[in-house]
Amino acid sequence: MSLTQASSLWFQTSACDAAALPDLPPFVGGSPCRPIEVLHECGRILRQLHALDPTLLGASSEEEEVIQHGDFGPNNILLEHQTFDVAAVLDWEFSGVGPAITDIAWCEWIVRMHHPDAVSMLADFFDASGARPTWKERQAEMLRRCRSLKSFAKRWDPASPAVTVWQERASAVASWVE
Protein backbone atom coordinates (compact mmCIF):
# COMPACT_ATOMS: atom_id res chain seq x y z
CA MET A 1 0.00 0.00 0.00
CA SER A 2 1.41 3.40 -0.95
CA LEU A 3 1.72 6.27 1.52
CA THR A 4 -0.91 8.18 -0.48
CA GLN A 5 -3.34 5.29 -0.16
CA ALA A 6 -2.50 4.96 3.52
CA SER A 7 -3.03 8.65 4.23
CA SER A 8 -6.31 8.52 2.34
CA LEU A 9 -7.49 5.66 4.54
CA TRP A 10 -6.28 7.50 7.63
CA PHE A 11 -8.18 10.66 6.74
CA GLN A 12 -11.48 8.97 6.01
CA THR A 13 -14.30 9.72 8.38
CA SER A 14 -16.08 6.41 7.91
CA ALA A 15 -15.75 3.80 10.62
CA CYS A 16 -12.12 2.68 10.86
CA ASP A 17 -10.42 -0.05 12.75
CA ALA A 18 -6.64 0.30 12.96
CA ALA A 19 -6.32 -3.46 13.39
CA ALA A 20 -8.02 -3.93 10.01
CA LEU A 21 -5.31 -1.82 8.35
CA PRO A 22 -2.15 -3.84 9.09
CA ASP A 23 -0.14 -2.52 6.13
CA LEU A 24 -0.27 1.09 7.30
CA PRO A 25 2.82 2.81 8.67
CA PRO A 26 2.66 3.14 12.48
CA PHE A 27 1.85 6.86 12.47
CA VAL A 28 -1.17 6.14 10.28
CA GLY A 29 -2.36 2.93 11.88
CA GLY A 30 -1.97 4.37 15.37
CA SER A 31 -4.46 7.19 14.96
CA PRO A 32 -6.89 6.65 12.11
CA CYS A 33 -9.92 8.72 11.26
CA ARG A 34 -9.03 12.08 12.79
CA PRO A 35 -10.05 14.61 10.10
CA ILE A 36 -10.78 17.44 12.52
CA GLU A 37 -7.27 17.26 13.94
CA VAL A 38 -5.76 16.95 10.47
CA LEU A 39 -7.71 19.93 9.11
CA HIS A 40 -6.89 22.02 12.18
CA GLU A 41 -3.19 21.32 11.74
CA CYS A 42 -3.42 22.10 8.03
CA GLY A 43 -4.86 25.50 8.91
CA ARG A 44 -2.39 26.16 11.72
CA ILE A 45 0.69 25.38 9.64
CA LEU A 46 -0.66 27.28 6.65
CA ARG A 47 -1.18 30.36 8.84
CA GLN A 48 2.46 30.10 9.91
CA LEU A 49 3.67 29.68 6.33
CA HIS A 50 1.65 32.63 5.09
CA ALA A 51 2.96 34.79 7.96
CA LEU A 52 6.54 34.45 6.70
CA ASP A 53 7.97 37.46 4.91
CA PRO A 54 7.82 36.81 1.13
CA THR A 55 10.86 39.03 0.63
CA LEU A 56 12.84 36.11 2.09
CA LEU A 57 12.44 34.57 -1.37
CA GLY A 58 13.53 37.74 -3.12
CA ALA A 59 9.99 38.82 -3.93
CA SER A 60 8.76 42.39 -3.94
CA SER A 61 6.88 43.36 -0.83
CA GLU A 62 3.38 43.22 -2.34
CA GLU A 63 0.99 43.47 0.59
CA GLU A 64 -1.36 40.76 -0.73
CA GLU A 65 1.37 38.18 -1.44
CA VAL A 66 2.55 35.36 0.78
CA ILE A 67 4.93 32.46 0.53
CA GLN A 68 2.82 29.72 -1.05
CA HIS A 69 3.22 25.99 -0.91
CA GLY A 70 1.35 25.64 -4.20
CA ASP A 71 0.01 22.11 -3.60
CA PHE A 72 -1.11 22.42 -0.02
CA GLY A 73 -3.42 19.90 1.58
CA PRO A 74 -3.59 17.05 4.07
CA ASN A 75 -1.90 14.84 1.49
CA ASN A 76 1.31 16.86 1.82
CA ILE A 77 1.79 16.99 5.56
CA LEU A 78 3.17 14.43 7.97
CA LEU A 79 1.78 14.52 11.49
CA GLU A 80 3.30 13.31 14.73
CA HIS A 81 1.14 10.32 15.62
CA GLN A 82 0.33 11.21 19.23
CA THR A 83 0.04 14.98 19.23
CA PHE A 84 -0.97 15.53 15.59
CA ASP A 85 1.57 18.34 15.36
CA VAL A 86 2.94 18.84 11.87
CA ALA A 87 6.28 17.05 11.58
CA ALA A 88 6.91 17.98 7.93
CA VAL A 89 5.37 19.67 4.93
CA LEU A 90 6.14 17.80 1.70
CA ASP A 91 6.03 18.37 -2.05
CA TRP A 92 7.26 21.94 -2.60
CA GLU A 93 7.74 21.97 -6.40
CA PHE A 94 4.84 24.44 -6.93
CA SER A 95 5.98 26.80 -4.16
CA GLY A 96 6.58 30.49 -4.68
CA VAL A 97 5.07 33.84 -3.84
CA GLY A 98 1.47 34.79 -4.59
CA PRO A 99 -1.98 35.18 -3.08
CA ALA A 100 -2.90 33.16 0.02
CA ILE A 101 -6.10 31.97 -1.60
CA THR A 102 -4.09 29.61 -3.81
CA ASP A 103 -3.17 27.39 -0.84
CA ILE A 104 -6.48 27.88 0.97
CA ALA A 105 -8.59 26.92 -2.04
CA TRP A 106 -6.35 24.00 -3.01
CA CYS A 107 -6.52 22.48 0.46
CA GLU A 108 -10.30 22.73 0.24
CA TRP A 109 -10.18 21.17 -3.25
CA ILE A 110 -8.17 18.21 -1.93
CA VAL A 111 -10.74 17.65 0.82
CA ARG A 112 -13.77 18.04 -1.46
CA MET A 113 -12.31 15.87 -4.24
CA HIS A 114 -10.69 13.10 -2.20
CA HIS A 115 -12.34 13.22 1.24
CA PRO A 116 -15.96 14.31 0.70
CA ASP A 117 -17.03 12.98 4.10
CA ALA A 118 -14.80 15.64 5.70
CA VAL A 119 -16.20 18.67 3.83
CA SER A 120 -18.44 19.53 6.78
CA MET A 121 -15.29 19.85 8.91
CA LEU A 122 -13.57 22.45 6.69
CA ALA A 123 -14.56 25.15 9.20
CA ASP A 124 -11.80 23.76 11.45
CA PHE A 125 -9.29 24.37 8.67
CA PHE A 126 -10.55 27.91 7.97
CA ASP A 127 -10.64 28.81 11.68
CA ALA A 128 -7.08 27.59 12.25
CA SER A 129 -5.78 29.28 9.08
CA GLY A 130 -7.33 32.60 10.08
CA ALA A 131 -8.74 33.09 6.58
CA ARG A 132 -11.97 32.21 4.85
CA PRO A 133 -12.30 33.88 1.46
CA THR A 134 -15.80 33.83 0.01
CA TRP A 135 -17.06 30.67 -1.64
CA LYS A 136 -17.11 32.48 -4.99
CA GLU A 137 -13.40 33.38 -4.62
CA ARG A 138 -12.39 29.89 -3.47
CA GLN A 139 -14.33 28.15 -6.24
CA ALA A 140 -12.88 30.51 -8.86
CA GLU A 141 -9.37 29.72 -7.62
CA MET A 142 -10.05 25.96 -7.70
CA LEU A 143 -11.33 26.28 -11.28
CA ARG A 144 -8.30 28.37 -12.27
CA ARG A 145 -5.97 25.72 -10.88
CA CYS A 146 -7.81 22.82 -12.57
CA ARG A 147 -7.69 24.66 -15.90
CA SER A 148 -4.02 25.42 -15.40
CA LEU A 149 -3.24 21.75 -14.74
CA LYS A 150 -5.32 20.73 -17.77
CA SER A 151 -3.32 23.20 -19.88
CA PHE A 152 -0.06 21.80 -18.49
CA ALA A 153 -1.14 18.24 -19.28
CA LYS A 154 -2.16 19.26 -22.80
CA ARG A 155 1.20 20.95 -23.45
CA TRP A 156 3.03 17.89 -22.14
CA ASP A 157 1.01 15.41 -24.22
CA PRO A 158 -2.16 16.52 -26.05
CA ALA A 159 -3.41 12.91 -26.15
CA SER A 160 -2.80 12.30 -22.45
CA PRO A 161 -5.73 11.01 -20.38
CA ALA A 162 -4.73 13.66 -17.84
CA VAL A 163 -6.27 16.31 -20.12
CA THR A 164 -9.67 14.64 -19.74
CA VAL A 165 -9.15 14.04 -16.02
CA TRP A 166 -8.51 17.75 -15.38
CA GLN A 167 -11.47 18.74 -17.55
CA GLU A 168 -13.70 16.40 -15.53
CA ARG A 169 -12.30 17.77 -12.28
CA ALA A 170 -13.01 21.35 -13.41
CA SER A 171 -16.57 20.31 -14.23
CA ALA A 172 -16.92 18.75 -10.79
CA VAL A 173 -15.66 21.96 -9.14
CA ALA A 174 -18.13 24.03 -11.16
CA SER A 175 -20.97 21.89 -9.81
CA TRP A 176 -19.99 22.23 -6.13
CA VAL A 177 -21.88 24.46 -3.73
CA GLU A 178 -20.73 25.63 -0.35
Three-state secondary structure readout of the chain: CCHHHHHHHHHCCCCCCHHHCCCCCHHHHCCCCCHHHHHHHHHHHHHHHHHCCHHHHCCCCCCCEEEECCCCCHHHEEECCCCCCEEEECCCCCCEEEECHHHHHHHHHHHHHHCHHHHHHHHHHHHHHCCCCCHHHHHHHHHHHHHHHHHHHHHHCCCCHHHHHHHHHHHHHHHCCC
The predicted model scores a pTM of 0.81
* Residue 96 pLDDT grade (very low, low, confident, very high; cuts 50, 70, 90): very high
Q: Which of 26-35, 81-90, 93-102, 113-122 has the lowest mean pLDDT?
A: 26-35
Express each pLDDT in 70-92 by its tens digit.
999 999 999 887 888 899 999 99
